[in-house]
Structure 1
């Protein structure tokens, strides 16, 4: 029993450090929580495998949302994972996946499964409702303004690029 509690405590410490370092934009520290970084973003079907790919994901997402932050809501343990419910927030100041910057803020409740093999973090798998996020980013769009129509057209073109 003590061994299992110790393992859970070590896994939880890794996850908490991982999330804190994301907020600090210390991506080398985040990447060091994995022996081989691997992310799966379920809502978009994206998979980032390896140091360079995951680092590119961080770079691109923070270029689009430089103030992006996570806030822990709850944390639970399973036999091979730590399941985290959190709120992600930010402001879109740059293009992301072909979607032009809107200047809008978002707050989206998400779940991440941090999958472990023993003490080794092998995957972060993130689930969220992409339409909740998109609706917030588009809330400034008005069909009565010509500039909004152009923005909406660019957004739709960007959406076509997503899987």
Structure 2
């Protein structure tokens, strides 16, 4: 079981991480874990290591320069701090191959900040509904206006281009856990 001191230290670290992301102070964010590692489950992408994570930060802030969040709730487990939050921003730059639409989005997300046995943050694993974001960014285009037709086609082509990549094996080939209370014959299956 976690001590109250460990809970408070983890919570302080996670809240600092969130705060520094909004401020776009990447050095401060990256100081919260010795080896930065993000897993974005809905897009099946992993950003591992300082330079890859910095590129991820840069790319998302080009797409959404005003990206911010509102924390809904924060919970503790034995090896993680789990945060539900709203992420929002305005699509002012390219999001991968999707051109900017100028539309805002607001989507509910869950982030698992995972800690190892020594109490070090080792991963931020994020879950969200990509369709909710796309519906707000692309679906928000007024297709009654002919000037938006070309942008809608470019967005659709961008979505297709982004969906052709290979998923990160770390997110698709996970070993099943073994539970100490399972019968030996069941665990072997």
TM range (shorter): over 0.9
Q: Which runs of 5+ in 2 are unaligned?
A: 164-189
Aligned counterparts of 2:148 and 2:43: Cα–Cα separation in 1: 25
- 1:4 Cα offset (Å): 1.8
Question: Any idea what SS the aligned residue of 2:3 has?
Answer: helix
Question: Any idea what SS the aligned residue of 2:55 has?
Answer: helix
Give the TM-score, by structure 2 length: 0.82
Question: Any idea what SS the aligned residue of 2:107 has?
Answer: strand
Quick check: which one's strand share is greater? Answer: 1
Aligned counterparts of 1:57 and 1:134: Cα–Cα separation in 2: 19
- 1:119 Cα offset (Å): 1.7
Distance 1:160 1:139, change over 3 A: closer
After TM superposition, the structure 1 stretch with the greater mean CA deviation from structure 2, 111-120 or 136-145, is 136-145
- 1:99 Cα offset (Å): 0.5
By relative contact order (CA 8 Å, sep 6+), the higher-ranking structure is: 1
The residue aligned with 2:167 is: none
The residue aligned with 1:144 is: 144
Aligned counterparts of 2:93 and 2:14: Cα–Cα separation in 1: 28
Q: How many corresponding residue pairs?
A: 162
CA RMSD, 1 decimal: 1.3
Aligned counterparts of 2:37 and 2:47: Cα–Cα separation in 1: 6
Aligned counterparts of 1:61 and 1:28: Cα–Cα separation in 2: 16
Aligned counterparts of 2:158 and 2:138: Cα–Cα separation in 1: 13
Question: Any idea what SS the aligned residue of 1:110 has?
Answer: strand
The structure whose Rg is larger is 2
- 1:156 Cα offset (Å): 1.2
Q: Which runs of 5+ in 1 are unaligned?
A: none
After TM superposition, the structure 1 stretch with the greater mean CA deviation from structure 2, 142-151 or 84-93, is 142-151
